[in-house]
Amino acid sequence: MLRPMRKVKVSLGDRSYSILVGTNLLSRLGLECRSRGLGNRCAVVTDKHVDGLYRKAATHSLESAGIEPSFITIEPGETAKNLKSVNACYDQLAAQRLERGSFIVALGGGVVGDLAGFLAATYLRGINFVQVPTTLLAHVDSSVGGKVGVNLKAGKNLVGAFHQPSIVLCDLDTLDTLSEREFRAGLAEVIKYGIIYDAALFRQLERGLDALLKREKAPLAKVVARCCAIKAEVVAQDEKEGGLRAILNFGHTIGHALEAISSYGKYLHGEAISIGQIAAARLSRRIQGLSQSDETRIENLFVRAGLPTRVVLGKRERSKLTEAMRMDKKARDGDVRFVLADRIGRVHFGLNVPTEHIHSVLDSLSESRHSRSR
């Protein structure tokens, strides 16, 4: 049975906030903002797709609570996450006379959340903001933790800030309109939480994947809330990425590099980190003693989720990939650091991996997968 609403607390002293997970939450947006004393006016930042789907519901909810919304709509997709869009949004915020007592609502996926959060962190030296994530990736990852920012030509997320939202509303109903491909891409982050932190969650995913793929609300609520709780725990211990927060990057070293060399076009983020996590699992087997059976379970789950697990790279692409890994902003002095698992549910971060291991794993990823049982 579906519980009415799950609540996850992110404990960060006076910047603490709640993440609400459930259905029909968009209709509570106005009330939740009101009960937190967020002011009478807000700018809802969204993208064109989401605007078409949810503007009406958001407006109705805010207005019913006596809050006057204005809307700022950006183009959908990663290419809009830049300083040019930020500039255009600042102008609109000023034209709409948004003042210090007003707030911003980020209504959309991770692109909208990162950009709107950055606006909130910087406009008038910082105003409040609320996250209403509408993709699975944004529900379990980007809306939680306070990292906000935009891309530069030189790389992803190179300009940004830490700015925590006042509340996060994960309305599972919004996931109904998400494309199959985007939904599955979000599952790559969900699986990641099982691998890095929670063997029981991983087992639950193995058992309940089919229901999740059907987007059944009760299992979805449980899993989304658990992922948010894990991210909240990690962020509460390491808000500004001094250490532990690095575990969230499992599969991302190779994943980010794959995204970079394919000019952020070929793979969705979740697809790139799916391949990245398979690579990390194989490295873990070689270096951290991850068991064959755990490696196989990891691989099988990504396959069942319909995510890519193979990549064939030519010689030039291969050297571009290793270069991109060195350029990653998390590399230290050009030294590539990995997060590796010694078993499902437990990882270590900051590990150096000899280049020959990386190459042999990349070789192994170009081999086709023999049909293993599901």
Ligand X SMILES: NC(=O)c1ccc[n+]([C@@H]2O[C@H](COP(=O)([O-])OP(=O)(O)OC[C@H]3O[C@@H](n4cnc5c(N)ncnc54)[C@H](O)[C@@H]3O)[C@@H](O)[C@H]2O)c1
Enzyme catalytic residues: 125, 147, 189, 231, 241, 245, 249, 252, 256, 269
Beta carbon nearer to ligand X, 78 or 299: 78
Tell me how far CA of residue 67 lies from CA of 41, 42, 101, 148, 173, in angstroms.
5, 7, 12, 25, 23
Q: Which is nearer to ligand X, 26 or 361 (CB)?
A: 26
The letter for the amino acid at 349 is F
Angle at 227 between CA 224 and CA 228, to 5 degrees: 85
Beta pairing, strands 167-171 & 128-133 = parallel
Query: Residue 342, interface with ligand X (CB under 6 A)?
Result: no
- Length of the chain measured in residues: 374
Any contact of residue 66 with ligand X (CB under 6 A)?
A: no
Whole-number minimum distance, CB 268 to ligand X, in Å?
Answer: 7
The answer to whether the CB of 130 falls within 8 A of the CB of 147 is: no
Contact 340, 348 (CB under 8 A): yes
Taken in order 327, 331, 334, 340, the sign of the CA dihedral is negative
- Interaction between residue 182 and ligand X (CB under 6 A): yes
Q: How far is the CB of 136 from ligand X (least distance, A)?
A: 8
Stretch that binds ligand X, among 83-91, 122-130, 177-185, 351-359 (CB under 6 A): 177-185
**Residue written as tokens 């952020």?**
264
CA 227/CA 224 separation, integer angstroms: 5
Q: Look at strands 167-171 and 17-22 and give their pairing.
A: parallel
Interatomic CA distance for residues 213 and 225, integer angstroms? 17
Out of 174, 249, 288, 309, point to the residue binding ligand X (CB under 6 A).
174
Q: Which of 110, 165, 194, 255 binds ligand X (CB under 6 A)?
A: 110
Q: How far is the CB of 111 from ligand X (least distance, A)?
A: 3
- Does residue 46 interact with ligand X by CB under 6 A? no
By Cβ distance, which residue is nearest to ligand X?
110
354 lies in the binding site for ligand X (CB under 6 A): no
Which one, 280 or 290, has the nearer CB to ligand X? 280
Assess 112 for contact with ligand X (CB under 6 A): yes
Of the pair 39, 145, the CB lying nearest ligand X is at 145
Cβ–Cβ under 8 Å, residues 28 and 169 = yes
Q: Which one of 142, 164, 274, 284 is in contact with ligand X (CB under 6 A)?
A: 142
Does the footprint of ligand X cover residue 49 (CB under 6 A)?
yes
Q: Site for ligand X (CB under 6 A): which residue of 29, 44, 111, 254?
A: 111
Q: How are beta strands 337-343 and 346-352 bridged, if at all?
A: antiparallel
Identify the H or E element spanning 208: helix 199-213
Nearest to 78 by CA among 228, 248, 246, 266: 266
Q: Does residue 109 belong to the site contacting ligand X (CB under 6 A)?
A: yes
Q: Which stretch binds ligand X (CB under 6 A): 48-56, 98-106, 294-302, 311-319?
A: 48-56
In single-letter form, the type of residue at position 132 comes to: V
CB of 144 to ligand X, least distance (A): 7
CB 106 within 8 A of CB 112: yes
**Is residue 78 at the binding interface for ligand X, with CB under 6 A as the rule?**
yes
Contact window for ligand X (CB under 6 A) among 44-52, 282-290, 298-306, 355-363: 44-52
When asked if residue 147 is in the footprint of ligand X (CB under 6 A), the reply is: yes
How far is it, in rounded angstroms, from Cα 7 to Cα 182?
A: 25
Q: How far is the CB of 47 from ligand X (least distance, A)?
A: 5
Q: How far apart are CA 108 and CA 95, in angstroms?
A: 22
Q: Which is nearer to ligand X, 224 or 361 (CB)?
A: 224
CA 86 to CA 90: how far, in whole Å? Answer: 6
Q: How many residues bind ligand X (CB under 6 A)?
A: 29
Tokens representing 237 are 């211990």
Contact positions toward ligand X, by CB under 6 A? 47, 49-50, 53, 76-78, 81, 108-112, 114, 134-135, 137-138, 141-142, 145, 147, 156-157, 174, 177-178, 182, 269
